[in-house]
Structure formats: structure tokens, C-alpha cells
Amino acid sequence: MVDLAGLRLGQVSDFDIRLVRVFKAVVECGGFSAAESALGISRPAISQHMNDLEKRLGLKLCQRGRGGFALTEEGRQVHEATLTLLAALETFRTEVNGLHRSLRGELNIGLTDNLVSMPRMHVTDALAELKVQGPDVRINIHMEAPDSIAKGVLDARLHVGVVPEVNLPASVVVRPLYDETLRLYCADRHPLFQMADSMVNEERLVEHEAVLPAYPLPEAAREAHARLRGTATASDREGAVFLILTGCYIGYLPDHLASPWVEAGRLRVLCPQSCTYRIPLVTITRRDRRPHRVLEVFLAAVGATPS
């Protein structure tokens, strides 16, 4: 069997592939003239391609003349090798295209607490789209504090994180996701709950104990909490809900997290015009990360722009 890759060819070029495709068509059509319509090129062009291939291989591939077209023994072997080569190329093309159509692997994503109640379900929708494109993809969600998520992204334990845009290291790529709005709340057990709006002001708020977050905050949030009389702390927003519902504390909560309690008559917004701030939420990935197709599909589905 003739080995096309090892017979005077060295590296097989695109031009070589074109030559063997012409040779295959000539053999299947039984001659140069018959191959014109199949290849869409003239007989002289076919003849030139065949001459070029014979020079490249250093072999006489066929007899052509008054007696008609006939393969030499070397031509027959080259034809068999041509079929093997082109079949391998088609297998390669099919498998590579299959990789694009079928995602496989894992996505390890770190999420800060209580984002599931956000009405804008960017993360949920992106994960759903990921499963549509890659049914075999394994998704692992880790609910952690923002600093732990950032560390997990940097040490490659996590592929991507969703965190507040606060104190992020320069070695991560930041993509805006959305903002969440936080307002000041008290519970139905609290003295301020039944008080008229006109009677509740910032001067009166400092008379009451407040729960403060024990995690990093952006400047606007720090300023808002500095105006409160903090006597308790919570490591996450769910912990703040526990303390506020006791009726002993006031505190800031994301409006999407507080909404069910407000609708149930258990929480009330205090000073909505002045006691509110927003926190940008972002996705973070390691700046020097290796290419990862599952992650790329997720990021594309989220639709965020790097900054």
C-alpha cells in the first residue's frame, strides 16, 4: 500500500489534498474528459493537476492516450491510499464539528448568597442555555462568601464567580451582570413598624439598634450603614433577615430578598427616599485562565461585557 504522507510529500498541503481529490474524481469517472463536469474544471486543467500529482509523488499513475484511461499498478495503490486519506479527513471534520455541537465537561460556579430571588434571572437562564447546548455538562454550584469565591477563581477551583463588585483583585476579568437595590427594613415586631412615614426620619433611626454586614461593602453602602447604630453583625444577608425578624433590629436587605416578607406583612421599608443604595453584581473569571468551552458558552449566555 502506498503511504501518501511518506512518499516524497513531506508535509501534506492543501494543494496536495486538492490534487488527490482531482485524481479520485478522474478514477471514478474513468478518464479526464468524463471528470470535467464532475470537477467543474477543463480537461487541460485536469491534465495539469494529474501531472503535478505525479511529479509530487514521483510515480506514473495512469496511462492515457488512444487506448483510453487505465491506472498503473502504482496508480491503483495511490488510489487506495487516496480513499484512506480522504476518509480520515472526513472523520476528522465530523469529529471536530461534533465537538462544537456537543459540549462536555464541568462548570464550577461560585455564587454569593440569596441571588436566586433576583427577578432578573441572568444566571439561571444562562445555566439553562448551557444545558440546552451541552446536555452532558456537569454543573457544580458553590454558595460561598464573595472573598472565598474570588479566591476559588484565582486558584482555579472555580471557573467563574458571581459576586458584588467590591475589593476585587486585579488578576480577575470583571463582567457586569446587574445591580441589586438594598433598602432599610424593620419587622412587624419593631416599634417603627406601625409609625407613620412622616414620623420616621434618619434622626429617629439612630435611636434603634441595627444589624451591620460583616463583609466588604462598596463606599455608598459603607456610608449608609455608618448612619445606623450598629449593635449586631451578620456574615450574610440571610443572617441579617433572622435578626431583623426578631423585631430588635433594623437593617438593610436586597429588595428581592425582602419582597416575600413585605408581601406577607412581616417587613416594612423605612425612609425609602434616603435609606437606599445599589450594589453592582458581576461575574469574575481568572485573567490568565486556559480556554474552556463550557465556560465560554456560559459567559456568552449571560451576555456580559468584560471590563
Report domain extents, the chain: 4-101, 106-172+281-302, 179-279
The yes or no reply on domain 106-172+281-302 and CATH 3.40.50.80 is no
- What span, in angstroms and rounded, lies between the C-alpha atoms of 285 and 173? 5
Cα dihedral angle (285, 286, 292, 296), rounded to 10 degrees?
Answer: 30
Cα dihedral angle (108, 303, 177, 102), rounded to 10 degrees?
Answer: -10
Q: How confident is the model at residue 6 (pLDDT cuts 50, 70, 90)?
A: very low
- What span, in angstroms and rounded, lies between the C-alpha atoms of 160 and 282? 10
User: Has residue 7 got a pLDDT over 50?
Assistant: no
- What span, in angstroms and rounded, lies between the C-alpha atoms of 258 and 167? 26
- What span, in angstroms and rounded, lies between the C-alpha atoms of 151 and 169? 9
Mean predicted confidence (pLDDT) in 150-178: 92
Q: Which residue has the higher pLDDT, 9 or 145?
A: 145
Q: What is the pLDDT of residues 15-32, one digit of tens each?
A: 888 999 999 999 989 888
Mean predicted confidence (pLDDT) in 42-56: 91
Q: Do domains 4-101 and 179-279 have the same CATH topology?
A: no
User: Has residue 2 got a pLDDT over 60?
Assistant: no
- What span, in angstroms and rounded, lies between the C-alpha atoms of 98 and 148? 36
**Three-state secondary structure call for residue 60:** coil
- What span, in angstroms and rounded, lies between the C-alpha atoms of 57 and 50? 11
Bridge partner list, 268: 186
Nearest to 243 by CA among 230, 256, 255, 224: 230
Cell numbers at 152, concatenated: 476559588
Bridge partner list, 163: 282
Q: Taking all residues of the chain, what is their mean pLDDT, rounded to a whole number? A: 88
Nearest to 186 by CA among 265, 272, 257, 251: 251
Helices 237-245, 255-263: inter-axial angle, 10-degree rounding: 30
CATH number assigned to the domain with residue range 179-279, chosen from the 4 options 2.40.10.410, 2.102.10.10, 3.40.190.10, 1.10.1660.10: 3.40.190.10
Strands (E), the chain: 62-63, 70-71, 106-111, 138-143, 160-164, 172-187, 209-213, 229-234, 251-254, 267-270, 276-286
Top CATH class, 4-101: mainly alpha
Nearest to 287 by CA among 307, 262, 304: 307
